[in-house]
Structure 1
Amino acid sequence: MTQRHLAREVLARLRAKGHRGGTIATHRAIWRLSLPRGRLWGSVALALGLSLALWWLRPWVGRFWGMQLLWWMQVLALPGRFDLGGAGVATHELFAVSVPSIELVQAVPDDWAPVWHGAALTMLWWCTSWLPEPAKPIAFFVRLGVLIHAAAVLFFAFWPASFVHSIGSHVISGMRQAWYLILLTPWIHLATFYLFPFAMWQRTLLTVLTAAYLAVLTPLQYALHVALVQAAGLILLPVLHLLFGVMLAIVGFVALYGWGMSWPAPSASGDREAA
């Protein structure tokens, strides 16, 4: 054995050692994933079955959302007109859900509102610089919101009449986005969760919990949007749409997925194959 060959063997052994001499295990992200055909076809069947169940439930989902919005508008005494079936489903929209229509009666906009909003944004930007280092991600998120709202403030300061969106269109589009995310949940989980060796009940549970979370969050979220717009005006609509619309639902979606990935998978090989 030549000295060069010996050196290569030593380097190969050292490459798998940590700085304390322990062996560095292969990270789970680069393990070879065994994908039996039974698990693959079972996962596809599960995603299809859950999608059909969600599609079948869409009339009740739309009715539940409408009743929740109506209840909150009555409790908060928000002036306006509410139509439970105002934004119905067209015949060609096979997967759409019927969402409520809202026409909010708003007060005359305050001409000084952009000034007050601009002052508050300046103060908020300055305050984020005082956050400690571990809270920097929060500071970045807050400053992103400040930039988005600052753009809206400038728009409303110079071209307020050019803003064509309304709280009604915001609620309709936001709820439909949430519904399409619910419909896509089984297929997103198929590509990111079902293919791992989890039991069938674990796959089903994660998808059901995620869909339930989105179904409950959506009416509460947009009822809050309606109340905020009634209090502060349409100037809040851009930041509500971009940061606290479907983005909020996606954050919760990812959080539930991370929780599901921490579940222990069946340890027995028979359970893994059956899964």
Structure 2
Amino acid sequence: MSLQERLQHFKAVRHTGHGGERISLHRAMRTEPFRRLRWLEILGLPLLFNLLLLAFLPQTLAFWQAVTEWSIAATGVPAQLSRLEILDGRIPGLWLPWLDLPASVPSFWQWWSNGLAGLLLLLLSFLISPENMPLRYLLRLFVIIQACACVYFAFLPAAFSHSLPEYHSSCLTFVLTLLFLMPWVHALTFHVLEKPLWHKLALSGASLAYLLLEAPLHYFATALVLHYGSLLFMPLLFILGSLMMEVMMMIALYAWAMSWE
């Protein structure tokens, strides 16, 4: 057998399993061609969405204002709605909704009821079966955050300097920043792949549309929790119920887009 024949034999054996079947390439090792023209999609699409968002930014903020006004009318909550100028007025006409709604420190009974509820959740986490281990850890995370808030408000209630209107405005500012960053995240994680152009447009478009509609409703709902509950819930809402919710939904939309044929 010549040297060339031996090399061909070794190559064939290398890709043959113990039963004689051919070993196919694992999907984690597969590659796909990267066309230079794809750089236009990677850089051009997020830039296009950023320019469109910047062009319609006054209308976007006016839409958030209208949705918040509708939410106040629908719930009948005693809130006053005004506007907060952003970017120090460098771009005229940019106003975020400012929700003037009071929220107080927890009362005696609110503090004790939250403490007892946290204790019950902690005990419940030990009764959950090992098959549902993530739920067990999630309940304990709730308890840890709320327990820290209870301890803080028990000893330093007057030192809590955050208010409900500031929390509402800050969360909307975070989402506004995410609206500009999200297309660039898609450029690094989705546009680099060999996907049809309309898939890439649809993913960024659906994500933007979701954030634009979800943000004012989401943070008005959290404002209601703080108003009818107390500031005791603000740490829990900020850590697990604010921007994390939008990020998780962006991940879900990305996973859905990856499944498109």
Both proteins in one fold, TM over 0.5:
yes
The aligned residue for residue 42 of structure 2 is 43
1:230 aligns with 2:227: yes
Where do 1:162-181 residues align within 5 Å? Answer: 162-181=159-178
1:56 aligns with 2:55: yes
The aligned residue for residue 25 of structure 1 is 24
Alignment partner for residue 213 of structure 1, among 210, 214, 218? 210
Q: Percent identity?
A: 28
Instruction: Give the deviation of 1:90 after TM superposition.
Output: 1.8
Where do 1:147-186 residues align within 5 Å? Answer: 147-186=144-183
Judged with a 3 Å threshold, the aligned counterparts in structure 2 of structure 1 residues 39 and 87 are, in CA distance, closer, same or farther, namely: same
For the 8 Å contact 1:89–1:98, the answer to whether it is kept is no
Question: Partner letter of residue 80 of structure 1?
Answer: A
1:196 aligns with 2:193: yes
Judged with a 3 Å threshold, the aligned counterparts in structure 2 of structure 1 residues 17 and 169 are, in CA distance, closer, same or farther, namely: farther
Q: Mind listing any 5+ residue stretches in structure 2 that lack a counterpart?
A: none
Question: Partner letter of residue 147 of structure 2?
Answer: A
SS class of match (2:88): coil
CA distance in 1, matches of 2:37, 2:105: 63
Alignment partner for residue 90 of structure 1, among 88, 91, 99? 88
Instruction: Give the deviation of 1:133 after TM superposition.
Output: 3.1
SS class of match (2:63): helix
In the comparison of the two structures, how many residue pairs are matched? 256
Q: Which moved more, 1:255-264 or 1:122-131?
A: 122-131
Instruction: Give the deviation of 1:24 after TM superposition.
Output: 4.6
Question: Partner letter of residue 141 of structure 1?
Answer: L
SS class of match (2:127): coil
Q: TM-score, normalising length from structure 1?
A: 0.83
Q: Which moved more, 1:85-94 or 1:135-144?
A: 85-94
For the 8 Å contact 2:42–2:192, the answer to whether it is kept is yes
Q: Mind listing any 5+ residue stretches in structure 1 that lack a counterpart?
A: 265-275
Q: TM-score, normalising length from structure 2?
A: 0.88
For the 8 Å contact 2:105–2:231, the answer to whether it is kept is no
Judged with a 3 Å threshold, the aligned counterparts in structure 2 of structure 1 residues 113 and 17 are, in CA distance, closer, same or farther, namely: farther
1:67 aligns with 2:73: no
SS class of match (1:129): helix
Where do 1:7-26 residues align within 5 Å? Answer: 13=14, 17=17, 23-26=22-25
Instruction: Give the deviation of 1:244 after TM superposition.
Output: 0.6
CA distance in 2, matches of 1:212, 1:125: 38
Instruction: Give the deviation of 1:108 after TM superposition.
Output: 7.2
Question: Partner letter of residue 151 of structure 1?
Answer: C
Judged with a 3 Å threshold, the aligned counterparts in structure 2 of structure 1 residues 181 and 141 are, in CA distance, closer, same or farther, namely: same
1:146 aligns with 2:151: no
The aligned residue for residue 187 of structure 1 is 184
Question: Partner letter of residue 120 of structure 2?
Answer: M
CA distance in 1, matches of 2:256, 2:120: 36
The aligned residue for residue 124 of structure 1 is 121
